[in-house]
Structure 1
Amino acid sequence: MGVPTLRRRAERRGLRLWPVGRVLALTFAAAVLVAAAVFYTGWDLLGARGLKPEHRIDSKTLFDLVKLSFGVVAGAGALVALVVAYRRQRVDEDGALREATRLHTERFTTAVGQLGNDSAAVRLGGVHALAGLADDAPTRDLRQTCIDVLCAYLRLPYTAEADLPAADAEARRTYLALREVRHTVIRLIRDHLSLPPEHPRSWQGHNFDFTEVTFDGGDFYGAVFSGGVVKFHRATFAGGTVDFNGATFSGGRVHFSEATFSGGTVHFNGATFSGGTVDFNEATFSGSTVHFNEATFSGSTVDFIQATFADGTVDFNGATFSGGTVLFSEATFSGGTVHFNGATFSGGNVSFGEATFSGGNVSFDTAQFSGGNVSFFEAAFADGTIHFNGATFSGSTVFFNEATFSGGNVSFDTAQFSGGTVSFFEAAFSGSTIHFNGATFSGGTVHFDTAQFSGGTVSFVEATFSGGTILFSEATFSGSTVHFDTAQFSGGMVHFSEATFSGGTVHFSEATFSGSTVHFSEATFDGGAVFFGEAAFAGGTVFFSEAAFAGGTVSFDTAQFSGSGVSFIQAAFSGGNVSFGEAAFAGGTILFSEAAFAGGTVSFDTAQFSGSGVSFIQAAFADGTIHFNEATFSGSTVDFTQATGPAPPGLVPPGGAPQPTGLRLPSVWST
């Protein structure tokens, strides 16, 4: 912005005064109105009813009238003097402002000339001169002009160190001198943004335009962005260290939209985002290291919408999200590393909705989810790794609803689920590996309702279910491998109600059921394999009531039934294979009451019935095959009372041998 523009602004600021006659007339009118109002108020307060008429006045009254006349004239004169003095003061102030503006313009012209000098030392002097001019500027607009020139200097074409000609010592000296001038500009801006807003030299609330600036270093440590608009739009962070540590974003708008972080390090460690908007929309992180470690997000809107994380590292380790909104919606994670390790989510909203994870590593290890919402709604996990290892879910709502897991690895190993809600509602698992190994579910709700497991692996190996609710209701298992091996079900509820097992494999091998309620009620088994081999049913309840076994394999081979209640009431066995081979029924209650065996194979071969209560009351054996070959009945009560259909092979003692104690058969089978 040049000198002619400043002069035009000064002309527009010229003093505008009304004609003196009009001002005096208005002043007298106002004085008369005020006097009348005072007189009327006093009249009303005194309760006067009228004036006493005087046909003749004495000398005292005449003298009072003369004094009153002189008072009115003196008051009018004082009023005129006051108006004239005020106008003179305005004229003097305007003259002083004009003189200050003229001097400012002259100094401004000199400082701008220094900025254009070939000597780096002269340019440094120009930078400091402009900063001093901004401090002494008689108006806010003139201060903004000085700031605009400093920012414009940073926007001038600039060759970064990586682009310098090789072995050109002169070019490097020129570069180093220019870099020193640029870093001085940034430091002076930082110093003025660090001053409290009431300080006369504070630049808080002004606008700063760093559009398309190339940063190879710079220090904004402790700067306060509390108003105005700050633009880093399309800026390039190509090397060195840019420091926003301890900065405060409490108002206004700060734009990093379409910025490129291709090298060097950018620090936001300990920064506070408590208001306003910080925009990283469509930014590209392709090589830099960007730190938000221990930053606090308590009120701002921080926007990474459609940002691309292709390389480098972005860290939010130990950050606190207690309010405001942080958006990674539609962002692409195709490489590099993004860390939220040890972060605390206690309020606000964090969204990865429709984000794409096609590579790289995203980690929430040991993060604390105690409040607020974290959303991965419709996110696509096609490759790379995302970790929640050791994370604690005690109050937040975390959504993976309708997310797609077609590749890569998602891990919740040793995570703690004690409250809040984690939802994979209608998610599709077609190729990824999802781990909950060693996780603890002691409260809260985890939803896999209507999820689609058509490929990949989901593992809950060694997980502990001691409370809360885990829902797989209406989920479809058509191709994935799902592991609950050695899991501990000691409390809470796990629902597979109305789930469909048509392919893939679900493992509960060596799992322990000691207190939970696990529902497979109305589930459909028409393909794939479900294994409960060596599982221990020592407590709690497992329901297969009204389940449909039409295909596939369900194996309870070598399972231990010592205390649980397991219900197959009204289950329908029309196909596939269900095996209890070598299972041990030493306690608890196993109910097949009113079950229908119309097809497929159900095998209790070599099973041990030594203490449980097993009921087939009113079961229907119409077709198919159910075997009890070499089964041993030594203490259990196994009741087939009112069962219909042919007797299962291996159940009725041959050749009139005595019936084992506890085995109750329909009379028609005994004969």
Structure 2
Amino acid sequence: MGWRWWLGAALVLATVLVWIPRPVYAAVSGYLPVNWRTLLTALGIIGLTVLAGSAVATRRRPSNEPGQGNDVKKPLLREIPGWAIWVSMTGLVAVGLLATWWLVTRYGSGDPTAIEQNRIKLESIRLAGSVVVGTGGVAALLLAARRQRVSELDLLQRDRVADDNRHDANERRATELYTAAAEQLASDKAPVRMAGMYALSRLGDANEDLRQTIVNLLCAYLRMPDVSIANSVAPAKDGQNDHKPDGSPQALVVDLAPAPLAALTALSPDLHLQQQQERQVRLTAQRILTRHLQPQRDENGNPSNTSFWADRSIDLSGANLHWWSFTGCEVNSANFTEAQFHGHAMFRGSKCNVAMFGEAQFHSSVEFEGAHFWLGWFPSVNFYEFARFSNARFWERALFSEARFHEGADFTGACFDEEPSFYSSLARLDLDSDTEWTWPRGWFTQDIDLLDEHGGRWGILVTNDSALDSEPEG
């Protein structure tokens, strides 16, 4: 019960007690106004009206909201009960009779022979009728306001239901499209797999919540065993030249976006043709992935690429990547641990908070020129050809421990907020005289004898204030 119930009950009880003759009333009546009984009776009628209104206002039924659990309920207005209508009508009649009686007794003398007094009585009756009519008008106004509120609540409820239905339909459609596109990646036909990748790309553009999931799926495809190259997962031995991938750049770099997918129809039984088709599928996955990670910022620093997916993370650990181009890409974190890079790899101008390249193999040259890393981890990385880190920026730790530089390195202009670590890193020195070696400030190479399996003449990286205490193993 609310406060309206208690107030109405108190007023009705006071009215009942007033009209019961008690000696105590006679004792205190001299201190009360002349028409105090009438006043309290009017208050009692008002109390009855309050009780009826409270019953109408509090009679509600719970209703489940669409899209919510069974435990979440919202009260809705119910119909007005019949007894409340009768109580309200009785209250209106009582107000009219009470007003008539009070006006006649207050302003009329009761003498039928007095014309002036009869006129006053008539005016009093008219005034009482006006009071009754006004009271009914107030009741009608309240009912109209209630109908308006019920209509607005119903409209809001319908809008919520429509919004929930649209949301559910969009979620179902996105799930169906994602499932269908993901199933295409398992097809044995290269065009079908590429079509699934482009479908995922369009789906991610339209559904921001699915973008990281789509990125994860594309990365997972690239982490799968690569049948496009023979023995691609076996790392090359130091000093050997069998680390370079088969095939020319012209055969690898093919722009498939504008070309019809029908150009690569049915798989051939020939293994070489199957490998070439799988190579194109993987290049397509790489191209789609990096396109969504390039903001292409304008002169004000705002992304101009409408297909840019911000704040993404990629996991390409153990993946075989061909002619990888990560130029201008921005991600939160990138995991290239034990990845195999075939063909020229580019990370020029890329930005990454955490970049992990532990035990990665760069079988061709690589460029990190102008790249920005908050944390850059390159332990046990093999750079089989030239590695360029000019003007790269490492905001915190840069770790190159036990890295192998086979054919030159350039750290010109590289900036390290903390001292980089090249512990036990090696550089091959028995190369042509024009091979470029530019190390970070304070680092240089010192000749060292290694085991036979490394081959050639190697130098270990040391700082100006350090001495060579021991030789690294292997």
Measured against the shorter chain, the TM-score band is 0.5 to 0.7
Pairs within 5 Å for 1:63-212:
77-137=147-207, 140=209, 142-159=210-227, 161=229, 163=231, 170-195=270-295, 201-212=307-318
User: Greater CA radius of gyration, 1 or 2?
Assistant: 2
Partner SS for 1:163:
coil
Which of the pair is proportionally richer in strand? 1
Describe the superposition over 1:531-555 as per-residue Cα deviations: whole angstroms up to 9, x where unpaired.
Answer: xxxxxxxxxxxxxxxxxxxxxxxxx
| Cα contact 1:221–1:243 (8 A) shared by 2 | yes
Aligned-residue RMSD, C-alpha: 4.4
| Cα contact 2:293–2:309 (8 A) shared by 1 | yes
Paired position in structure 1 for 2:382: 285
Call closer, same or farther: CA 1:216–1:302 in 2, change over 3 Å. Answer: farther
Describe the superposition over 1:177-196 as per-residue Cα deviations: whole angstroms up to 9, x where unpaired.
Answer: 21211111111111111136
- Pair 1:316-2:391 in alignment: no
- Pair 1:232-2:295 in alignment: no
Partner SS for 1:20:
strand
Which letter does structure 1 place at the counterpart of 2:387? V
- Pair 1:260-2:260 in alignment: no
Report the TM-score, using the length of structure 2 for normalisation.
0.53
Following the alignment from structure 1 to structure 2, what is the Cα–Cα distance between the partners of residues 161 and 190?
Answer: 22
Which of the pair is proportionally richer in helix? 2
Following the alignment from structure 1 to structure 2, what is the Cα–Cα distance between the partners of residues 64 and 255?
Answer: 82
How far 1:200 moved relative to its partner? 6.2
Which letter does structure 1 place at the counterpart of 2:355? V
- Pair 1:384-2:459 in alignment: yes
| Cα contact 2:223–2:317 (8 A) shared by 1 | yes
Following the alignment from structure 1 to structure 2, what is the Cα–Cα distance between the partners of residues 262 and 359?
Answer: 24
How far 1:301 moved relative to its partner? 2.6
Paired position in structure 2 for 1:669: none
**Residue of structure 2 aligned with 1:221, choices 327, 337, 340:** 327
How far 1:160 moved relative to its partner? 6.2
Following the alignment from structure 1 to structure 2, what is the Cα–Cα distance between the partners of residues 314 and 73?
Answer: 86
Structure 2, unaligned stretches of length 5 or more?
Answer: 1-65, 79-105, 108-123, 233-244, 248-268, 296-301, 430-434, 450-457
Pairs within 5 Å for 1:207-606:
207-225=313-331, 227=332, 229-237=333-341, 239-249=342-352, 252-256=353-357, 258-273=358-373, 276-280=374-378, 282-297=379-394, 300-304=395-399, 306-319=401-414, 321=415, 324-325=417-418, 327-328=420-421, 330-333=423-426, 335=428, 339-340=437-438, 359=448, 384=459, 403-405=466-468
| Cα contact 1:304–1:326 (8 A) shared by 2 | no
Following the alignment from structure 2 to structure 1, what is the Cα–Cα distance between the partners of residues 282 and 227?
Answer: 12
How far 1:115 moved relative to its partner? 1.6
| Cα contact 2:425–2:461 (8 A) shared by 1 | no
Paired position in structure 2 for 1:20: 74
Describe the superposition over 1:477-521 as per-residue Cα deviations: whole angstroms up to 9, x where unpaired.
Answer: xxxxxxxxxxxxxxxxxxxxxxxxxxxxxxxxxxxxxxxxxxxxx
| Cα contact 1:292–1:314 (8 A) shared by 2 | yes
How far 1:166 moved relative to its partner? 9.8
Partner SS for 2:408:
strand
Paired position in structure 2 for 1:393: none
| Cα contact 1:190–1:222 (8 A) shared by 2 | no
Following the alignment from structure 2 to structure 1, what is the Cα–Cα distance between the partners of residues 469 and 420?
Answer: 23
Which letter does structure 2 place at the counterpart of 1:314? A
Paired position in structure 2 for 1:653: none
Which letter does structure 1 place at the counterpart of 2:340? T
Structure 1, unaligned stretches of length 5 or more?
Answer: 1-12, 26-54, 346-350, 361-382, 388-398, 409-671
Call closer, same or farther: CA 1:385–1:71 in 2, change over 3 Å. Answer: same
Following the alignment from structure 1 to structure 2, what is the Cα–Cα distance between the partners of residues 221 and 124?
Answer: 23
Pairs within 5 Å for 1:618-629:
none
Following the alignment from structure 1 to structure 2, what is the Cα–Cα distance between the partners of residues 204 and 91?
Answer: 32
How far 1:207 moved relative to its partner? 2.5
Which letter does structure 1 place at the counterpart of 2:218? L
Call closer, same or farther: CA 1:125–1:286 in 2, change over 3 Å. Answer: same
Which letter does structure 1 place at the counterpart of 2:221? Y
Following the alignment from structure 1 to structure 2, what is the Cα–Cα distance between the partners of residues 75 and 357?
Answer: 92
Call closer, same or farther: CA 1:156–1:405 in 2, change over 3 Å. Answer: closer
Following the alignment from structure 1 to structure 2, what is the Cα–Cα distance between the partners of residues 122 and 335?
Answer: 45
Following the alignment from structure 1 to structure 2, what is the Cα–Cα distance between the partners of residues 318 and 216?
Answer: 28
Q: Which has the higher contact order (CA 8 A, sep 6+)?
A: 2
| Cα contact 1:212–1:235 (8 A) shared by 2 | yes
| Cα contact 1:334–1:357 (8 A) shared by 2 | no
How far 1:85 moved relative to its partner? 3.5
Partner SS for 1:202:
coil
